[in-house]
Structure 1
Amino acid sequence: EESKSREDKFKVDSYYRTDWIDYEKLPLNIEGLDLDRIYENFISQIAGDDLNLEKAEDIRDAVMIAKEIGSLEAYITKLENRIRKEKQFNLKVKFNQELRKAKEKLKDYLK
């Protein structure tokens, strides 16, 4: 992705990887009519289920959605831990409402 502060610089936003694969069994296929489509195809083959290009307009949107899903999952885990540790009933109710909203938002992303 191009850097916003400097025109001639680029920054890496996310990394995707696979498990170790023998060279003979390497499943990367070159598909696409231009370099952007070939690059998106490589990323989708490497990222697998971590990146869903079908729901997004382009690779940038798919990465943003994947980041949002990751942060929602972390937030849900944090809320579940807080609910488990909390002793006051009214705070548990408040955290459960937030948890329900976060799970609904996550379900919308995963549809």
Structure 2
Amino acid sequence: MPSLGSGPAICLEGGSGKEQNTAHKHTDRPAQRIAKNGTSTGVAGTLKLGQAKGISARAIEKATGGKKGGGCDRKDIQKQLDELFKAHNDTLVRGVKDARKVTDVIRDILNGGKD
């Protein structure tokens, strides 16, 4: 899995434009809500890769207006994410946006116990 800085990127209107803000609204909050207690993973601050891909595909669709609005279709984005990330959908990923809030437990789980 790539790091946050080296992961895939998409072009959205403006660095802080409407599409960018909409995408963050529909990714950051849902990911943090799911990861908060770690209900689906057993580790607070994490979520499953499959959940993260689903959240991301939905957010991109919302941000770009979807297929009907001349933008991206959630199913197409999901397919691209599935092709890009070959790891199993149950793989744990960080659900905490602020890196300063990543605990040692989260770091250990995500790194497989390796430093």
In which range does the TM-score fall when normalised by the shorter chain? under 0.3
Q: Which protein is bigger by CA-based radius of gyration?
A: 1
- Give the TM-score taking structure 2 as reference length: 0.25
Bigger strand share = 2
- Where relative contact order (Cα < 8 A, 6+ residues apart) is larger, the structure is 2
* TM-score, L = length of structure 1: 0.26
